[in-house]
Amino acid sequence: MQRKGHSIKKSKTITHKRPLIIGIGGSHSGAGKTTVAEALLKRLTKRVKKDSDTMTLCNSDTQKWGAVKYTRTAIYSSIIDTPEILSQKDKDTARLINAGAESVLWVQSPPEELDDILSTAVDRLACLRGIIVEGNSAIEFLKPDIVIFVSGRQSGVLKKSAERVLEMADIILFKDKPSMKLPAKAKKFKITLAPVSGFDECLDYIEKLLK
């Protein structure tokens, strides 16, 4: 179901290569996914002055990065790109914009409609070099090129979606070593998110992966 007041604009057929996608998932809500996305965007992008009333979508600059924030809903789907909404104080989308994202889309959808709506969102940002996608369910559908798992407070039990993203992870970030079994293939980094510290080694590693 489409949410009243927010249209889902279908993209024209995209014929060029899909941008790089970095997915950021986590053990629970509030684990620090947006903080990690901010740090990544600050490293990977250069700030571009944007008009206060508009946000450029796909300006053919293939060196820039966009971001997609996913929020699960019960019945409606929408892709929000309205600057007045995205830039509201204390919204995660505002943090992504301020960190340097060239374009930000806020995707809201129930899980059963994610496939179509995420494909549309990625198509709309397809001319950028890469996209940072936040959300466990979004990662499962998109199968990003790099998956980062943020381990927050230890509760002992993960939701099934978090377990699946953990198994997909190329990089695991944690403050205290997680109690759950970690996949052997993943690169592990001990960092602090509040305030952010110890992240440079991880960012250097990600940049090497992107080359």
Per-residue confidence (pLDDT) for residue 154, from 0 to 100: 64
Contact 107, 68 (CB under 8 A): yes
Q: How confident is the model at residue 197 (pLDDT cuts 50, 70, 90)?
A: confident
Percent of the chain surpassing pLDDT 90: 57
Pick from 21-25, 94-98, 155-159: least confident: 155-159
Q: Cβ neighbours of residue 181 under 8 Å, at least 6 residues apart?
A: none
Q: Which of 12, 86, 90 is nearest to 55 (CA)?
A: 86
pLDDT-derived band at 202 (thresholds 50, 70, 90) equals: very high
| Cα 65 from chain centre | 11
Structure confidence at residue 27 (pLDDT): 86
Quickly state the pLDDT bin for 63 (edges 50, 70, 90): confident
Q: In whole angstroms, give the CA distance from residue 105 to residue 44.
A: 18
pLDDT digits 0-9 by tens, 24-60: 999 888 889 999 999 999 999 854 444 434 455 555 4
Determine the pLDDT at residue 36. 95
Q: What is the mean pLDDT of the segment spanning 102-118?
A: 94
Please give, one letter per residue, the 3-state secondary structure of 35-91: HHHHHHHHHHCCCCCCCCCCCCCCCCCCCCEEEEEEEECCCCEEEECCHHHHCCCCC
Under DSSP, the state recorded for 184 is T
20-210: in CATH 3.40.50.300: yes
Q: What is the pLDDT of residue 82?
A: 96
**Model pTM?**
0.83
Residue 133 to residue 105: CA distance in whole angstroms: 10
3-class SS letters over 96-110: HHHHCCCEEEEEEEC
CA nearest to 104, candidates 70, 76, 75: 70
Tell me what the pLDDT averaged over the chain comes to: 84
Separation between Cα atoms, residue 128 and residue 18, nearest integer Å:
9
Say how far apart CA 107 and CA 121 lie, in whole Å.
Answer: 8
Instruction: Return the structure tokens found at 72.
Output: 């699960």
Binned at pLDDT 50, 70 and 90, residue 78 comes out as: very high
Look up tokens 């995660």; give the residue: 92
CA angle 188, 190, 196 (to 5 degrees): 125
What's 19's DSSP letter? P
Reported as a single tens digit per residue, the pLDDT across 162-188 is 999 999 999 999 888 777 788 899 999
Give the model's pLDDT for residue 50: 42
40, 132 contact by CB (below 8 A): yes
Flag the least confident range among 107-121, 143-157, 196-210.
143-157
